[in-house]
Amino acid sequence: MKDLINKGLAFGLGLAVVSKEQIEKFVDEMVKKGEVSSAESKDLMRELFEKGEAEKKEMNARIREQLEKFLKDLNIPTKADLERLEKRIQELENKQ
């Protein structure tokens, strides 16, 4: 089963960008070729889908990290920075 999952990971651009329909089509083709039994196909689809979701989360985290670094390098304030400043302004206005 591990070989089949690795084979699944190798197809296309990776599971992160593959739809559920594409996974089903891929597994159906493997069943037709006799590489996977019908009984194994549901488990394989579930595992491939779960791995795809995990890849997607990891890719999103990396993109977010790179974007934050990029914004920091450009010296652009974050939402948290702006909220902190707004709170500080409000506190100063309330003191007057």
**Burial of 44 per CB tally in 10 Å (0-12, 13-18, 19+):** buried
Domains of the chain, by residue range, sit at 2-95
Quick: pLDDT tens for 12-66: 446 666 677 888 888 888 889 888 888 888 888 888 888 888 888 888 899 989 9
In this prediction the pTM is: 0.56
Q: How confident is the model at residue 3 (pLDDT cuts 50, 70, 90)?
A: low
**86 — pLDDT class (breaks 50, 70, 90):** very high
Instruction: Average the pLDDT over 70-96 and give the result.
Output: 92
Q: What is the pLDDT of residue 10?
A: 54
Is-contact 27 36, C-beta < 8 A? yes
Residues 7 and 24: their CA atoms lie apart, in Å, by: 14
- Looking at residue 13, what is its pLDDT? 44
For residue 81, pLDDT over 60 is answered with: yes
